[in-house]
Structure 1
C-alpha cells in the first residue's frame, strides 16, 4: 500500500514539475527531484500513456545523444470550478495549464433550498459544457469553493452567515451524485490561494496568504510551499479575528470580529445610512456585491463619504493582516475576491503602508501586497485548479523547495 502511494506521489511531483518547468528532459527531472532515473522513466512512461505529457522534440546535445524534451498536454485534462457565493454562483472550466476555457456567472442561491440550488447548478454545468463542446471524458472532476466554516469530511457548510439554512447539508455528495463528477471541497480563500500558485503569480514566494473578501473575509495560507489546512480545514478565518476586544458580539460567538467592521455588508449598511441622511449619493440596489462596488466607484471618484467608509474598512483589515503576518512571518499577501474589484487599490495601499510601519519583521524583509491575477474569478478558478492539483500532487503545491 505504501509503495503505491510513493509511486503516485512521484508521478504527481514529476507531472507538476513538467507543468511548471517544461519543456524539460528526464535527466533534468532527476536532478530537480533527486529521484532515480528508473523512477523517472516509469513515471514519465505512465504520464505519456495517459496522454497528459507529450514528447515535443530533442534538446541540444551535450556530447551524447540529444535528450528528449517533455511538455504538458494542457487540453488532456480539464477541471471545473464552482464558487457558491452570497450574490452569485460562478463556474470556470480550466485546463491543466490553468488557462480558462469558459466561465459562467448566475445569480446566487438566495433563500432557495439546498436541493433546489443543487439542481440549478447541475443544469448550469450541463449548459456550460454543451456551450464549450467539452469532451466530458477529459473532465477530472469538480472543485467546489464555498464560504467557511466547512466540514470537509462531510462536504458541508457549517454556519456560514449567508448560508445558515445550509448547515450540515451534504453539498459535496449531492453535487457529485447529480453531476457524476468527482468533487473536491474547500473554502473560497484556500481555493483562491491555490489558483494564484497555478497561474505563477506567487513564483519566488514560499510563504504567502490570499486574503479573500466576498460576502465575508477569509485567508488561504501557504507555508513553505504547502497549503496549510489546520486540524479541521478551517484555517484562515481572519474575518473572525477580534479587532476590538470590547466590541460588538458576533454571531460566531466571538467579540469584535473583523467582519463586523470591515466586510462589504457592513460598508453597504453604513453607506445606506449616509444616503438616508443625504450625505452620500450612491444608487443602492439591495445586492451587497453591487452596492459595495458602487461605493468603491464613488471612492475612486473622490466622494469624501465613500472614501471614509472604504478607508475605515481597509484600516480594520490592515490590522488583522498585520496580526496574521506577525504570527506566520509571511512574504506576500494577495487580495482576491469580488469586493476588491473596484476599491482594491485603496486596500492594497492601506495594508502595504500599515505593514511597512507596524509589521514585526519589517526591518528584515518587506511584505509585498498585491491584487490577485484572477480578479472576480479567483475562487472559481482556484476551485478548478484545486481538483486538478488533487490529480497532480495533493499534498503540496511546490514540487521543489524555493531557495
Structure 2
C-alpha cells in the first residue's frame, strides 16, 4: 500500500512526505518518472520535491537506469544517514536505548537497569546521560538527530507527555517525562504507549503487500496489545487503546490484582509462569528466587523456557496452558476487529515462542467462540534488539516523514 499525492500547491509538505516514503520503501532505488507514476503526482512536482530532498541530504542519486528510448534516468535512493532518531523503551526490568537511522537500521544500542528512585529529576538525569553517551559513542553528527521517542507501559498522557501510573512501576507515577527530557537533552521528545510503538515499528518496516490489519501481542514483564486497522495505528481517545490484559480467560483462575479471576495479563506473564513452575515442582523455589525481583524472574523464566525446549513435560505443560489462555483472548480480538494476523514480540517472547506457537494456532482454530470467514496468520516480529525501543525511534521518523492525509485537512483550515 502506498499514499498518492496531490498537485494542489497548498500541500507541498505532504507531497514531500509522500515522495520520501515511496523512496524509502524501495531500497533498490527509483527514478523520478517511476515516482510520478507511483504517487500520482506530476513530473514537475516530483522533480521539485526531489530537488528539496537532495538539498536536505535525505536522498542521493545513485547512477542511472535506462527504460525504453530517451535519456537514462537518475536513480534516487534514501540516504540512511540523512537523519537519526533515538528510541527509549522503559520497562519495569530495564531501559533500552537505540539509535536508528532514516532507513530504520539500528546503528547502536544500550541497556541499563530501570531507575527505582522516586525522585523524577534523578531519573531524567540518568536517562539523559544514557542518551548522550549513546549518541557520542555512535559518532553520529548530533545535528542530524531528529528527536527522541519514548515507549512506556500505559497508561500514559500522550498530550502532556506524562507517565500516569504504569503497573509494576510505583515510583514512576505522574512523571512529566517528555518535557523534562526535552529540557535535559535539547531535542524534541515524543511519548507513546509501548504496545502502540511496537505497531508503529511493524508498519514502518512492513513490506509492500503485507497485512494492514493485525494485533501485536507484546510479551514483556506484562502482556500488552497494539492494534493496526487498515494500516492505521489504533490509539483511542486517550492514546491508551489495546489494554487487553484484563480479558478473562479462566473464570476459576487465580485472582488478578484487579479483583477478578483469570485475567490473561495475569496468568500468562513470566512471573505467573515461574510461580506455576514452582508450585508444580518444575522449578525449585531457590531457582525461582524472589518473584518480586524482575532480574530473578528473568533468570527463572529463562530456565523454564530451556526446560520446555528440551522436552521437559512439566515445563511444556505450563507453556501449553499459557498458549490456550492466549488463544481465548486472541479469539475475542479476532472476532471484534476482524483482523487476519497476530504478530508476537517483546523481550520475553523469543524464549517461549517455539512451544507456544506449536500449540496456539490449533487452540485458536478449535475455539468454539471463533467467528471468522478467513484464515488467521501467526507471526513473530523480525525487528531487532527491542521492538518497543525501535518503535519509539520509528515513531519520531514516522511523525516526521510519513504522509498523513489529516495534514491536508489542517492545511485547508
**TM over 0.5, shorter chain:** yes
Equivalence for 1:19 = 24
Judged with a 3 Å threshold, the aligned counterparts in structure 2 of structure 1 residues 355 and 78 are, in CA distance, closer, same or farther, namely same
Q: Residue 93 of structure 1 aligns with which residue?
A: 99
Q: Are 2:283 and 2:304, in contact at CA under 8 Å, matched by a contact in 1? A: no
1:194, distance to aligned residue in structure 2 (A): 2.2
C-alpha distance in 1 between matches for 2:322 and 2:160: 34
- Pairwise CA distance, 1:115: 2.5
Aligned residues of 2:150 and 2:190 also touching (Cα < 8 A): yes
Which residue of the other structure, out of 164, 185, 199, is the alignment partner of 1:158?
Answer: 164
Match of 1:342 among 345, 348, 351: 351
> 8 Å contact 2:116–2:171 — kept in the other structure?
no
Inter-partner Cα distance in structure 2 for 1:336 and 1:390: 23
1:365-397 alpha-carbon deviations (Å, 9 max, x no partner): 32111121125511111111111111111648x
Q: What are the residue-to-residue correspondences of 1:291-330 with 2, within 5 Å?
A: 291-330=300-339
Whole-angstrom CA distance in 1 between matches of 2:260 and 2:171:
21
How far apart are residue 250 of structure 1 and its match?
A: 4.3
The answer to whether the 8 Å contact 2:84/2:146 transfers is: yes
Aligned CA distance change for structure 1 residues 283 and 245 (closer, same or farther; 3 Å) = closer
Which sits farther off after the overlay, 345-354 or 99-108? 345-354
| Superimposed CA distance per residue, residues 206-238 of structure 1 (whole angstroms, 9 cap, x where no aligned partner) | 212221111111122111112121111111112
1:379 is aligned, of 388, 401, 413, to: 388
Deviation at 1:266, TM superposition (A): 1.6
Residue 139 (structure 1) aligns with: 145
Q: How many Å separate the matches in 2 of 1:271 and 1:263?
A: 12
Please say if 1:115 is aligned against 2:121.
Answer: yes
Does 2:274 match 1:280? no
What secondary structure sits across from 2:240 in the alignment? coil
Mapping for residues 44-59 of structure 1, pairs under 5 Å: 44-59=50-65
In structure 2, the residue corresponding to 1:75 is in which secondary structure? helix
**Residues 1:4 and 1:338: Cα distance change in structure 2 (over 3 Å):** farther
Q: TM-score, normalised by structure 1?
A: 0.89
| Secondary structure, aligned partner of 2:399 | helix
Unaligned runs of 5+ in 1: 397-403
5 Å-filtered alignment, 1:343-362, equals 343-358=352-367, 360=370
Secondary structure of the equivalent of 2:151? Answer: strand
Secondary structure of the structure 2 residue equivalent to 1:240:
coil
Partner of 1:194: 200
Q: Secondary structure at the match of 1:58?
A: strand
Offset at residue 171 of structure 1 (A): 0.9
Q: How does 1:118-267 map to 2 (within 5 A)?
A: 118-200=124-206, 203-244=209-250, 250-252=256-258, 256-267=262-273
Supply the distance in 1 between the matched residues of 2:168 and 2:190 (Cα, whole angstroms).
21
Q: Which runs of 5+ in 2 are unaligned?
A: 1-7, 406-413
SS of alignment partner, residue 115 of structure 1: helix
Larger deviation, residues 290-299 vs 280-289:
280-289
Q: Are 1:87 and 1:110, in contact at CA under 8 Å, matched by a contact in 2? A: no
1:232/1:221 CA distance change after superposition, 3 Å: same
SS at match of 1:57: strand
The CA distance in 1 between the partners of 2:88 and 2:165, in whole Å, is 20
1:252 shift after superposition: 5.0
Indicate if the aligned counterparts of 1:214 and 1:289 stay in contact, CA closer than 8 A: no
The structure 2 residue matched to 1:289, chosen from 288, 298, 301, is: 298
C-alpha displacement of 1:29: 1.6
Deviations 1:130-176 (A, max 9, x none): 22112111111111111112111111222221123322211111111
User: Aligned partners of 2:301 and 2:36: how far apart in 1?
Assistant: 51
Q: For residues 243 and 130 of structure 1, do their structure 2 counterparts lie closer, same or farther at Cα, with a shift above 3 Å needed?
A: same
The alignment covers a number of residue pairs equal to 390
